[in-house]
Structures are given as structure tokens and as C-alpha cells.
Structure 1
């Protein structure tokens, strides 16, 4: 299995990792609707068996539930322990309302809770989920630097930060990695953010490389209209007009290339993201074993330059 070094860390990661967002299940504001825990655990096991060596989750996914599912999957798997990445900054109150906090006491409380739920002594990569409140990003990053020095976390990164925000925190301590949204549906990070990370040796683990399911070959207008009421995509601008028509055209382009190459459309979408030289790995949502079987080709498949250019063409 070929691996890639994540930034300046010692983490050698497989090209794709398990994305555990949907594994948080229902009952919170950004859920993907109902999700069976046993399906999640079997999907993680299948991915690890195939050579995937890292899992990305967050405390807020399912308000702690995703981390608990990841822990159970690792406990019940007989192979080498995968790297576990999680995030802070999105907490919740006693009424299960999500709050945004980069206060040191909140981050420390979140870190201890994640360590407990994940059943680990140290978190391999701890990330600020969102730069919010933006006025507090320096003190939030100072807290992650302190947690790293204390041995609670091995490496520290950020998610959804722009260049200016990364430049603000970089003098406080090195940024191991950035987690941005990146796909054919959302290519805007190619302009400034990815060149910046490449220049400064910051690893990139891209999320939603399949456009939150848009580029899997399974999306139609009817299916989108019939998404469950508690699926966050019903509220997403990328699943509504005027963007919907453009994105469905992108799906058709991806599916046509997939048919030509004999691959699953999701593999083509992931390969597009991985073909960018700044990208270290892609976070791939896998909700069941079938999806793992469809997508593990992305561990080794590489997109040719001509095909990449054709996909990117407006």
C-alpha cells in the first residue's frame, strides 16, 4: 500500500481515509439521517481490511456518537490500530444545541471528552473544526499547541481555514494539516489555498471529494427531492437551484468517464482530488460494506492528465 506523509508530521497515511460524519446518525442538525451502527462498524472493518489506515471524525458528529462508533469499530477489529483524527470547536449544551467556542476551557473539555469516547490515550491529529468565532482563532490554536506539548494529541491541524487565517496562527505553532472542502463541485481552493499549503509544507486532507454524494452516479433530481427531512443536504445550496443543474451536469461528465474507464463514478471524483499535488489524502464517506467495495479502488487508481483536464473544463 502506497502512503503519503501528512505535512511535516510522521503520519504516513493511505490516499483515502474513512469519513465518519454520517456515522453520527440522526438527531442533530447536520445529520445524514438514520444510520445503523452495525453497518458503520462493518464498513470501517472492510475499509481497514482493504488497506485504509486512518479515520476522520469529529466530536460534533452525532454529538459524540460518531466517536463512540469509531472506538467500537477499532476495539472489535483484530488488525493494527489505524490513525484517528478528530476535531474540536463545535460543542453542544444541555439542550443539544451546537455552540461555537475556541475558549481554552472549552477546547480542553472537548479534548478530554474525545479521548474518553475514542478510548485512546492520545489523538493522532486534533483539528479546529471551523475558524469560529474568528476573533478567537489565536487563543484556540494556542490551546492546541499546549495540548500537543502535554502529549494529549500528537499533531494539530485546522479545517475550513483560509490563507489569511492560517497566516495569523502559523507564528504560534506549525500547522500540520488543513482540511478543506474540495471536489469538482467545490474547486475554489485550487486558486489560493492549495498553492499556499503546498508552499508552506502543510498537508491537505480534503473532505467531501464526491461532493457530498453528488458525484457518485446515484444522484437524480427525484432522489434529491426524496432525501429524508433530516438529511442536511436538503438545505444545502449545492443541492438546490441554480447550482443543482450545474452539479448534475458535472455528475454526468464524471459518470461518462467512469463508464469509459470501467470505474465507479465516486472513484473518478476522488481520483480528481487526489491528483492535485497539494493534496495528501481524501476523506471518503463509507456508510456500509457495499460502498467500501465500490470506492476502495481509489486507494490505487490514478487519473491521467488528459482526463483530469477534461473533467475540470468548464
Structure 2
């Protein structure tokens, strides 16, 4: 796969990266339900074999479990990979409660714990997971800058920041990347954030480009109704009525566009996100190797102007139904 430069950094990312949220397992507040570690490891190996060169995780995924799984999966292959993880979400012992802290001491402790769990000496991209508490953003970002100067982190990024929060952090130290949600169903960053990132050489790494599976072409109303309590999607409005019926109908319309191009719905969703020059790459989660083999090819798909307009017409139709 081709690679794209991430913001002002020297990191060269493949357009598709491997997301490991689900690999944290189901035994925490925002899990995706049961997930076998061996399936996760096979998915990581498949991603690397297919040409993906970066993995995105977070300390909070499974309360450290995702990072531990990655450690096992990348043994002997670390030098070929870019590893991104996150800070700012904390927990105590076996408690399922999640705390929020961007205090210097907390982040210093988090980075050491992540390095140990991942089994690496330096984190390529260390991101503030959420801008919370808001009043601690400056202290948190100053700490990330310190970690870069100490050599424990190569580049710093942020996730889920709004425009004002981006500006506050950028005034302290250059931001290498922003990780926001971006999909056909969540387009808020098109309003102001994309332009700001473009002007300030901040790379955008889109997460949830298939909106937690809704835009994969494989989701049905029946499946949504049967999501277990251990799957955070069971509590999300997109997976409930009236939204789910409209989304399923919209996806059926989009599938025809995908079929006419000879690609899958999942590949169409990813190619649509990657059509924007401001977007460096997209994170795609996977539970098994087969999912990777399908989505990795989206990084090479180019949508024509007429196809983009056709998609826009369908999205406009969907917007009238929400």
C-alpha cells in the first residue's frame, strides 16, 4: 500500500490502520462483547501481512488488556510498525469505573504503564484520548511535550478535541495528529476542524469510519436488537429506533453504488472517508483475519466525482429521516 505523511511528523502511515478497541474484550464498560485473544493476535498478524504498518490502541481498552495482546502479537515485528496509544482515561485495580485525568503525574504514570504493557521502549504516537477534564488540557498537553523531549514518545496527538481545544493545545506545542470520529453518519469535522488541521499541518486519523459496523453492509435491525449488554453499542442511539431503521435502509441504497463499482459496502465507506485530502488515514477495527483482508484494499480505491455525488444524494435523503 501507498503511505501518507502524518501532519508535520516523519511518520508514514498506510491509509488503513488496525484499531484494537474490541481486542480489549467485553469485561469493561465500553467493551464490544467477548473476544478471544488468539483471534485478536491472528487479526494483528493478518493486518501486518496485508501491508498495514500501524496499530492504534489505548490504555483504557479492556483496562490495559488490548495493549498486552498487542505486545504478544508484535513480538519480533516491532521495528516494522508504528504504535499509537492514548492517555487520559484511568482506573483503579479491578474496578470497572473509569476516571478522567490529564494531570502531569497521572500521564507520567500512564506512559510508563503503557510502555511496559506494550513491551516497547518508545511510543510512536501518544494521544490524549479525550479533552477531559477541560481545565486540565494545558497541563496534559505540556506533559506530552515533556515526554517527547524525554524520548519516551516520538510525536503527540489528540483525540476528540473541538476547534477551541485544538487551538489551546497548538499554542503550547505542535500537534502531529487529531483523531476524531468521521463517517458518512458523523460529518461534524467538515465544518471547521478539517480546514484548521490543513492550515496547521495536523494529520487527521479518522476513527469509526464504518460507524461501529453500521456502514459495513452486514448490520441488520435484528442484529442490533440482539446486541448483548456487554457490547457498548446496545446503549448507543444509532443502534435503536428510529435511527436504526433509517440507517439500514440508507445502507441498502449505498450498496447499489458499491456494487456498481465492484466493491463492498465496507470498502465504499472507507474510500469515502479517505477521499478528503485532510484525512491521512482511517482506523479499522477487526476481530479476525478475514475482516482485514476485505477492508485493507479500500486504501487504494478512488471514488469519482459522480460517485461521490451519488453518495451525497443518499446521505441527504437519510438526513431528512432522522
Match of 1:39 in 2: 39
Match of 1:246, SS?
helix
Match of 1:10, SS?
coil
User: Could you tell me how far 1:185 is from its partner in structure 2?
Assistant: 1.1
Question: Counterparts of 1:296 and 1:185 in 2: how far apart (Å)?
Answer: 21
Question: Counterparts of 1:90 and 1:44 in 2: how far apart (Å)?
Answer: 24
Residues 250/198 of structure 1: CA separation in 2 closer, same or farther (3 Å cut): farther
User: Could you tell me how far 1:258 is from its partner in structure 2?
Assistant: 1.8
Kindly provide the CA deviation profile for residues 23-55 of structure 1, in whole angstroms up to 9, marking residues without a partner as x: 101110000000111111111111111110000
Map 1:71-90 onto structure 2 (within 5 A).
71-75=71-75, 77=77, 80-90=79-89
Map 1:1-314 onto structure 2 (within 5 A).
1-75=1-75, 77=77, 80-94=79-93, 95-313=95-313, 314=316
User: Could you tell me how far 1:306 is from its partner in structure 2?
Assistant: 1.6
Question: Counterparts of 2:192 and 2:252 in 1: how far apart (Å)?
Answer: 28
Stretches of structure 2 lacking an aligned partner (at least 5 in a row): 317-322
> Is the CA contact 1:43–1:286 (under 8 Å) kept in the aligned structure 2?
yes
Equivalenced residue count is: 313
> Is the CA contact 2:29–2:96 (under 8 Å) kept in the aligned structure 1?
no
Q: Which moved more, 1:187-196 or 1:28-37?
A: 187-196
> Is the CA contact 1:254–1:269 (under 8 Å) kept in the aligned structure 2?
no
Question: Counterparts of 1:250 and 1:158 in 2: how far apart (Å)?
Answer: 32
Measured on the aligned residues, the alpha-carbon RMSD in Å equals: 1.2
Question: Counterparts of 1:255 and 1:227 in 2: how far apart (Å)?
Answer: 23
User: Could you tell me how far 1:290 is from its partner in structure 2?
Assistant: 1.2
User: Could you tell me how far 1:188 is from its partner in structure 2?
Assistant: 1.5
TM-score where L is the length of structure 1: 0.97
Kindly provide the CA deviation profile for residues 66-117 of structure 1, in whole angstroms up to 9, marking residues without a partner as x: 001111110165x852100000001101323110001111111110000000
> Is the CA contact 1:215–1:254 (under 8 Å) kept in the aligned structure 2?
no
User: Could you tell me how far 1:246 is from its partner in structure 2?
Assistant: 3.0
> Is the CA contact 2:206–2:282 (under 8 Å) kept in the aligned structure 1?
yes
Match of 2:319 in 1: none
User: Could you tell me how far 1:299 is from its partner in structure 2?
Assistant: 2.5
TM-score where L is the length of structure 2: 0.94
Question: Counterparts of 1:209 and 1:299 in 2: how far apart (Å)?
Answer: 13
> Is the CA contact 2:274–2:299 (under 8 Å) kept in the aligned structure 1?
no
Stretches of structure 1 lacking an aligned partner (at least 5 in a row): none
Question: Counterparts of 1:180 and 1:253 in 2: how far apart (Å)?
Answer: 26
> Is the CA contact 1:215–1:250 (under 8 Å) kept in the aligned structure 2?
no
> Is the CA contact 1:44–1:73 (under 8 Å) kept in the aligned structure 2?
yes
Match of 1:212, SS?
helix
